[in-house]
Amino acid sequence: MELFKATAHELHEKLVKKEISSVELTKAVFDRIDAVEKDVHSYVTLDKAGALAQAEKVDALLAQGKDIPVLAGIPGAIKDNISTKGLRTTCSSKMLENFIPIYDAYVIEKLRKDETVFLGKTNLDEFAMGSTTETSYFGASHNPWKLDCVPGGSSGGSAAAIAAGEAIWTLGSDTGGSIRQPASFVGCVGLKPTYGRVSRYGCVAFASSLDQIGPITRDVTDAALVLNTICGKDVHDATSLDVEVSDFTKALVADVKGLKIGLPKEYFGEGVNPKVKEAVLAAVKKYEELGAKIVEISLPHTEYAVTTYYIIAPAEASANLARFDGVRYGYRNQQAQSAPEMTALSRTEGFGQEVRRRIMLGTYVLSSGYYDAYYKKAMQVRTLIRKDFTDAFKQVDVIVTPTCPVTSFPYHDKMDPLSIYMLDVSTIPLNMAGLPGMSVPCGFADGMPVGLQLIGKALDEASILKAAYAFEQATDFHKQFAPLGGNK
């Protein structure tokens, strides 16, 4: 087996049995990065020296006969909007091109404690604002299945790294679908936990009431393992939930007999690619064969989710990104003749077009005379969206939808911003309601991966992991590897 194609749990067994070393594994992944990174562009920053030093540390622990955590010595990568002490964290923006944090995000602290190996920082849409990774200041990432197509966004680099074999596991962040949508586009597993399940401390804020960190992995078991590590109450994050963290791997039972799966009619209508719909409904049929009960449900306020999101998220972004003023840290214009001019020029030059667009949208909806008309009304609609899910979960255990209405598409497809925003029509409602959701590969349409989205009740990641695992064990889509090379 080529080591870069293996899962974290398979590699842990090999490490414990001393069939491989962490240094050997880490070098194998860096060899893969050397071979394909020029085509995929998953990374913004690589840390080969730091990764190999950590791998040597894990090998020393194994040589001493010490028990190691399941992710110890397993090389992974971190989305570049998550703070890593001493390692550049750019948010793929000119604004933070040379920013080196002095502290670790809470999830990084947790992973360091488990002796994981960090390969580097992955590419993203600038400040996580986008659905294609094309807004990155450092250039777009590419879909390993077809290099002239997008890997999705905003965690496109994290997803592409998994699909290309450039990391064994990665972290992404999800504000409106930024973990699940790229996972769908490149054929891997992406999990957005319940809002508050994972601390946001050290994740550079986009929209504070929506952001959530989560894993992108090759299979469902690995997603559960990473989730086990990164969950937990954090005193630095007031929205972090003080709830018991159970072992999510205990939910990985390939048995869905009697499970009630909701099929919302609003997610299968106009705008969904017929071949995507066909693949998702085939997955639903598989669940029926496995003994699950399919129940048609309605989530009537779904049609308002995207417009509501693009009031709330930009409003919060406008407030969060106000700190980038050219004074304390980040990009600063050197030619300005006054402080106001310096701030204006620093922000104009430091932010890309999409970030500036969202800041202006957010500032507008929060401005005097428009707050009640837009932001307040959007928050009321958000409550209705949340109520839709509460009502639906009185009838079903899990809800299934397409992760995205389309498959990956070519770069520079001349899509206008509104069309790009609509790519997240299936994923945004979960962020609005704070619910857990995950995407698992469920087939192909015209040679490109299709994702199946599973939605659970708040704090019920176990149910969607169980449903995802059962489907995965009954199919082999997660074993398909992108034919990278000769597919430009």
In sequence order, the β-bridge partners of residue 148 are none
| 3-class SS shares of the chain: helix, strand, coil, % to 5 | 45, 15, 40
- Give the model's pLDDT for residue 486: 41
295-331 per-position pLDDT tens digit: 999 999 999 999 999 999 999 999 999 999 999 899 9
pLDDT of 413 reads 73
Mean pLDDT over 155-183 rounds to 98
pLDDT at residue 311 in the model = 97
- Cβ neighbours of residue 30 under 8 Å, at least 6 residues apart? 46, 48, 51, 119
Measured CA to CA, the distance from residue 5 to residue 7 in angstroms comes to 7
* pLDDT tens figures, 81-115: 999 999 999 999 999 999 999 999 999 999 999 99
pTM beyond cutoff 0.75: yes
Residue 253 has pLDDT above 90, yes or no: yes
Catalytic residue IDs: 79, 154, 178
Tokens, residue 26: 């880490």
pLDDT band at 487 (very low <50, low <70, confident <90, very high): very low
Contact 325, 347 (CB under 8 A): yes
- What percent of the chain is modeled with pLDDT above 90? 94
Extract the tokens encoding 216: 């992108």
Q: Tens digits of per-residue pLDDT, 238-251?
A: 999 999 998 999 99
Dist CA 478 CA 470 (whole Å): 12
Q: Are 67 and 168 in contact (CB under 8 A)?
A: no
* Cα Rg of the chain, angstroms: 21
Check pLDDT > 50 for residue 463.
yes
Q: Which superfamily is assigned to 3-253+472-479 in CATH?
A: Amidase signature (AS) domain (3.90.1300.10)
- What share of the chain has pLDDT > 70, as a percent? 99
Mean pLDDT computed over every residue of the chain: 96
- Please report which confidence band the pLDDT of residue 171 belongs to, taking 50, 70 and 90 as the band edges: very high
pLDDT of residue 410: 95
On the question of pLDDT at 485 being above 60, the answer is no
**pLDDT band for position 362 (cuts 50, 70, 90):** very high
168 and 29 Cβ atoms separated by less than 8 Å: yes
Q: Cα angle at 402 between 397 and 407, to 5 degrees?
A: 160
Does the pLDDT value for residue 196 go beyond 50?
A: yes
Asked if residue 484 has pLDDT above 90, the reply is no
pLDDT at 273 over 70: yes
What span, in angstroms and rounded, lies between the C-alpha atoms of 215 and 240? 17
Range 37-64 average pLDDT: 98
Q: Which pLDDT tens digit goes with each residue over 391-437? A: 999 999 999 999 999 999 999 776 778 788 889 999 999 999 999 99
- The residues, any chain, with a CB within 8 Å of residue 194's CB and separated by 6 or more, are 212, 241, 434, 435, 436, 458, 459, 460, 461
Q: Write out pLDDT tens, residues 9-19.
A: 999 999 999 99
pLDDT score recorded for residue 421? 84
| CB neighbour list of residue 284: distance below 8 Å, 6 or more residues apart | 261, 263, 294, 400
List the one residue out of 287, 273, 265 whose CA is nearest residue 448: 273
